[in-house]
Structure 1
């Protein structure tokens, strides 16, 4: 049985690697119709593997869980690679933003299916108004020069608090108008049908990402002035603070439905393969286009040499903050997708020790390589969290914890043998970016031919 499981798992891992390579390869084709056909085919292939046909499924429930977990972790790891791999800012706070996105989106859909629209209204108005206020303050501050960072942070914080209060007020005022249309969990109303819940789910995922990005902006504004090591320590402290708030969400925070340390239950399982595939590809395409733009080159320039980048006119502080915000946005989306697949959130899932997982994945795959991050994520989930965990569990109840010993040993060996990671800075297919084919220089015609 163990040999059969081992061989089957190895075949699945090889098939997944080939699937990822084929997906990235087909997206590099010049024809837009070939790209669309490739995406549809990649989605349909996995959907077929997840479909029960006469009692047979190519991917069972365990593989299904690993697949969705890998999709969510890919978004988190890509965000961290943007911050650390491409911009050079050592961050340990990515797991905190992952948890913020998970709890924020779960609260929206949990309240909605139970006849309470305040989760969507408050976070929706807060995200919209907060973004507008932050942009307006930024435009106003650009008129002045030499403003201390803490003074700017204070102004942004006041604007965020006022916006949050306004969003809560608007949510409480508009909620009675929508509540009759929601009904209850036992008797859902016209706005609580399965189709409506999917719409709310997509809105919740996007709003969770925006909320995580806004918090990262307020947190990163003063903290990014620290050096790389001190910034890493500060982000680790942020993750611990977020985890503490999760444990006390029903006492310190006004969210009794989250149940604090007992864990939040009753989250609707709205994540499907379509939504997981859609959001993962959305994050991949956005990050790929960002990296190969002038903004992405500025981020890489800051990583290479801040003094030289500043001499070339790059706003170093702005580039760092931008990478931190976008990376946190990706983490928030990943958390929202994960929450609606698992249906249960426990603060233990977002412990700071588990926060090292995306960092290990990024280093393992290669800093500054999107291809390395994607392949390392799926390999990590299916090999270490999947196959290895099952094999160790057959050796005893405590044996699976030994994988936490094998992780650092594997990473240590990798650093000794190949410090740049498995793929280094290698990119595949579509992730290489737009190619440039020089136009061949035309040879001048001989004088006698021109005369003729």
Structure 2
């Protein structure tokens, strides 16, 4: 028998493409979820004992805590893997029905749903018709949307009157502060695609600007200013600092840029800590509170957090209005082009140097505002208030909410700042951020685009997963290649 008569033993292309069950993404996610559950059971369980090195391991792996965590993460995995597709298909069918025109006017009569002989209307068809009517209403009546936003703003205005003083403090000192920081960081990370791990340095610059220009530092200022007048000065200072950071890093991307921004934060932090003759070091410095004196009327912000909340809300609304306009402007489109492919953007005439500097400068400006409000509210600052952990937290809030999405950044920041405070009475302080970390892990496994992603970012991730695109908002490489 010749060699050409021997039957081929090579596997078919279909068999080569076939994956084993343990190589499928579903089971990989299960392993990741189980591993996360085991880690959380250990780090949130019993603490170690000095006389027994393995006491915590024995207690946490034999107690009920491990099974509770495993049950929670298994339930999340099962619901997401086996119920998500049917629910999504049902929603798609409802949307498809809603897009169809009514076959006859009688189908839209309001009393159809109450007729015993027409009970079939209570199914997806009725929901689809209701959805179609609402969508047509919102398309034709835009003022309903503005009415909804006005109602939300009204709720936010009266919110301090509905909560305790503790939650008012949380909303001012943490949620409001991080919202302003996250809005600025979203410009750098979400819109321009530059990873920044030292963004809280601009927040520190704004806080120390407030302390300096109000005469709170050991060095006397040329002229003492009111806190409201300090805000534009702090914004200008942060703009200059953003340009100084951006200028030497224009040729860096991805991890290299992140390392440089981290070094910038450490420079600012160590300067504030060690330059005691200027900043006061760890002893800290004081800052005046906001005040208004118009001659015929004056007001001074005191210890009550509610007035600071309304002041922060006014600044947040103003910044959001400006940034929403900026997102859809020529500058915003240039940032999008740089994020997706910097080389392609430069080849089409986009001045990448100028627009990247603009991203650093404009993003830093909101941190300057937050720093002034924060220092004026507390009346005291020191270098230990501006650790690098705050930069990491701010970045995680932006990623969790949805990079490039202003509503997502606001929602994600509010949730993740609220969660540790909500767990204050039930969870040990050392374990609060462990729950936050577990939530972030689950989010990155099942929804890497964020809680409320922008449409562009969602499309980029889908194209990357399908292998039809290579855009990455955190580290786009020249020509779109991934490093």
**Structure 2 unpaired stretches of 5+:** 1-137, 291-300, 302-306, 457-483
Q: Give the aligned partner of residue 218 of structure 1.
A: 244
**Structure 1 unpaired stretches of 5+:** 1-25, 52-57, 120-170, 180-196, 393-398, 428-452
2:354 aligned with 1:318, yes or no? yes
Q: 1:293 aligns with which of 329, 332, 341?
A: 329
Q: Give the aligned partner of residue 445 of structure 2.
A: 416
Q: Are residues 36 and 341 of structure 1, via their aligned partners in 2, closer, same or farther at CA, if it must alter by over 3 Å?
A: farther
Provide the TM-score with structure 2 as the length reference: 0.57
CA distance in 2 between partners of 1:239 and 1:344 (Å): 21
CA distance in 1 between partners of 2:240 and 2:147 (Å): 33
**Displacement, 1:101?**
0.7
Q: 2:378 aligns with which of 342, 349, 354?
A: 342
Aligned length: 302
Q: Give the aligned partner of residue 161 of structure 1.
A: none
Give yes or no for contact 1:365–1:376 (8 Å, CA) kept in 2: yes
Looking at both structures, which has the greater relative contact order when contacts are Cα pairs under 8 Å and sequence separation is at least 6?
1
Q: Give the aligned partner of residue 65 of structure 2.
A: none
Alignment of 1:30-429 (within 5 A): 45-51=155-161, 58-68=162-172, 69-111=174-216, 119=221, 171=222, 175=223, 200-251=226-277, 255=278, 258-265=279-286, 267-268=288-289, 270=301, 272-384=308-420, 386-392=421-427, 399-425=428-454
Provide the TM-score with structure 1 as the length reference: 0.61
Give yes or no for contact 1:225–1:317 (8 Å, CA) kept in 2: no
What is the DSSP-based 3-state SS (H/G/I as helix, E as strand, rest coil) of the residue aligned with 1:314? Answer: coil
Give yes or no for contact 1:371–1:426 (8 Å, CA) kept in 2: no
CA distance in 2 between partners of 1:334 and 1:78 (Å): 11
**Displacement, 1:379?**
1.1
Give yes or no for contact 1:80–1:94 (8 Å, CA) kept in 2: yes
Task: Show CA shifts across 1:188-226 (max 9, x none).
Answer: xxxxxxxxx8xx222212211211111111221112222
CA distance in 1 between partners of 2:395 and 2:382 (Å): 21
**Displacement, 1:338?**
1.6
CA distance in 1 between partners of 2:429 and 2:228 (Å): 35
Bigger radius of gyration, 1 or 2? 2
Give yes or no for contact 2:210–2:287 (8 Å, CA) kept in 1: no
CA distance in 1 between partners of 2:215 and 2:166 (Å): 25
CA distance in 1 between partners of 2:400 and 2:149 (Å): 28
Q: Are residues 242 and 390 of structure 1, via their aligned partners in 2, closer, same or farther at CA, if it must alter by over 3 Å?
A: farther
Q: Are residues 49 and 373 of structure 1, via their aligned partners in 2, closer, same or farther at CA, if it must alter by over 3 Å?
A: closer
Q: Give the aligned partner of residue 442 of structure 1.
A: none
CA distance in 1 between partners of 2:372 and 2:257 (Å): 26
Give yes or no for contact 1:302–1:316 (8 Å, CA) kept in 2: yes
Task: Show CA shifts across 1:3-53 (max 9, x none).
Answer: xxxxxxxxxxxxxxxxxxxxxxx9xx8669x969966x76665454435xx
**Displacement, 1:268?**
2.5
**Displacement, 1:108?**
2.0
Give yes or no for contact 2:216–2:285 (8 Å, CA) kept in 1: no
Give yes or no for contact 1:88–1:303 (8 Å, CA) kept in 2: yes
Give yes or no for contact 2:216–2:286 (8 Å, CA) kept in 1: no
CA distance in 2 between partners of 1:411 and 1:37 (Å): 30
CA distance in 2 between partners of 1:369 and 1:108 (Å): 35
Larger mean CA deviation between 414-423 and 223-232 belongs to: 223-232
- Aligned residues: CA RMSD: 3.0
Give yes or no for contact 1:72–1:280 (8 Å, CA) kept in 2: no
Q: Are residues 106 and 220 of structure 1, via their aligned partners in 2, closer, same or farther at CA, if it must alter by over 3 Å?
A: same
What is the DSSP-based 3-state SS (H/G/I as helix, E as strand, rest coil) of the residue aligned with 1:353? Answer: helix
